[in-house]
Structure 1
Amino acid sequence: MINDLNCEVKEMDIRPIKSKRTTEIILDQIKELIVKGELSQGDKLLTENELSERFQVSRTSVREALAALSLTGILEIRQGGGIYVKANASNAIIEPLTFILLLEKNKLQNILEVRKALEVEAAGLAALRRNEEELATLGDLIEQMENDLPDAQNSEALDLKFHLTLAKASENPLLDRMMNTVQEIMGQTLQVTRALWMSATTEGTSYRLFEDHRNIYEMIRDQDADMARRLTYEHLRKVELELGKYREEEE
């Protein structure tokens, strides 16, 4: 719980609302203030009455918006104690990306594109910023991947751990959180694409996947950011192309 003793009410740049979708607009404005950093963890908001006056809407609309933000973990509403921005509010804002991806018609293709956007840069930053502990973790994962050959029964879990470790090693908290937020969907993507790939190719596929990861690891170890990005992109591009071939055969 956030201590509300001697806590000043946080001033906010609130714009009056003139729309039937008042609850949604209140939600958007408050989330925007958090994203911009104008509201931070522990900040106390105005009261329902004050927000209603600032937004120029009914208290009911304000109450509905605050309740929704509370349910998603962005705000904490204390009975008689005020309204506060909760810890990890940024995670609660990012998390809906998972649901957006789940609802997409071309889910696998879209997720692969998201993976490229996130993981290519994560690899480059990891090469520049990784510490010895993170490098050791990556090396251990490469060793586990090699020991898992030729059947590669644990390849999905090891693959996911490898890329999440790269995100952590990037030393970019937002990138790390985004990668972890979509990790479940990423896991589903890996499971499906690997199943398709393995069923359509030879025993050598598992070795090629291992070599891709080993080469990326070596670039991280050598702190070659450009090659780390390039190899990660090429690795994910291979998965994308194989999935495209499978779709063409199915059609």
Structure 2
Amino acid sequence: MSSQQDKVYIEIIRELNHIIQEDQLIAGDKLPSERELSERLNVGRSSVREALRSLELLDLIETRRGEGTFIKSIGGHRLVEVLASFFLREKKARSDLAETRKIVEVEGLRLACERIDDSQLEILEKLIVQSKNSWQNGKFPVEEDYLFHKTIVEACHNRLLLNIWISLVEYSKVALRESLSREGRPEQSIMEHEKILTALKNRDVDQGILALKNHLENSRF
């Protein structure tokens, strides 16, 4: 994610926290609409929507169809404040983000080696094929890459771990595209995915973790 995009994202979360405090909102209260937030924060609605989506993935807020977005009862504005302060660390946050993603994903793969089912292995195989097709057609397989890793964490069948992973990777999706844009990286990344898949098929935890750590290191997140 570019420095400018970082600033917009951070500013939105910081201002959301300010609005929650200013309006004295508590758990169960409704947040202002996307349109109102966009006007109050002077940013595009798409940027507001992405920030809200990240907070929802962390289970800090929830969207109810036809009703709006509400603060969840498990944390309220205090968790939003913690989240904002984390992202406000600028460069330090980037290294923390990469380190935390590695910890979460390695543990997810460790559990997935025991819990992954045949349908999820098939999904991983299809995603590798789709990645190859996308790259052959001149497109960076960003979405396929994202879904490959997401499927692995889903396979550990731990919803909280998955929510944490999604929130971390949503924040760094632009970094994923930048990583894949390096010369020779798409082909190498796909081969690394194949090694991870082989380890999962064999339920080989050690080889799986080794392959994943190597992949994340080469990806330079």
TM-score (norm 2): 0.61
Change (3 A) 1:150 1:183: same
Residue in 2 that maps onto 1:239: 219
2:133 equivalent to 1:153: no
Q: In 2, Cα distance between the equivalents of 1:97 and 1:192?
A: 28
2:106 equivalent to 1:120: yes
Cα contact 1:91–1:177 (8 A) shared by 2: no
Q: Percent identity?
A: 21
Q: In 2, Cα distance between the equivalents of 1:116 and 1:70?
A: 33
Cα contact 2:26–2:77 (8 A) shared by 1: no
2:50 equivalent to 1:70: no
Residue in 1 that maps onto 2:88: 103
Amino acid at match of 1:105: E
Cα contact 2:134–2:141 (8 A) shared by 1: yes
TM-score (norm 1): 0.54
Backbone CA RMSD of aligned residues: 3.2
Q: In 1, Cα distance between the equivalents of 2:205 and 2:81?
A: 31
Change (3 A) 1:105 1:171: same
Unpaired runs of 5+ in structure 1?
1-60, 75-84, 244-251
Q: In 2, Cα distance between the equivalents of 1:222 and 1:108?
A: 33
Cα contact 1:120–1:230 (8 A) shared by 2: no
Cα contact 2:140–2:177 (8 A) shared by 1: no
Equivalent residue in structure 2 for 1:189, among 161, 165, 175: 175
Query: Aligned pair count?
Result: 161
Unpaired runs of 5+ in structure 2?
1-20, 30-59, 63-70
Residue in 1 that maps onto 2:185: 205
Residue in 1 that maps onto 2:7: none
Q: 1:120: how far off? A: 1.4
Change (3 A) 1:100 1:128: farther
| Structure showing greater relative contact order (alpha-carbon pairs closer than 8 Å, 6 or more residues apart) | 2
Residue in 2 that maps onto 1:139: 125
Change (3 A) 1:183 1:91: farther
Cα contact 1:73–1:92 (8 A) shared by 2: no
Q: 1:132: how far off? A: 1.4
Cα contact 1:128–1:223 (8 A) shared by 2: yes
Instruction: Please tell me whether Structure 1 or Structure 2 has the larger radius of gyration of its CA atoms.
Output: 1
Q: In 2, Cα distance between the equivalents of 1:218 and 1:96?
A: 42
Residue by residue over 1:94-141, the C-alpha shift from the partner in whole angstroms, topping out at 9 and shown as x without a partner, is 777764553231143332212211111112211111011211111111
Q: Which runs of 4+ in 1 moved over 6 A?
A: 90-97
Q: 1:152: how far off? A: 5.6
Change (3 A) 1:205 1:189: closer
SS of the residue corresponding to residue 167 of structure 1 reads helix
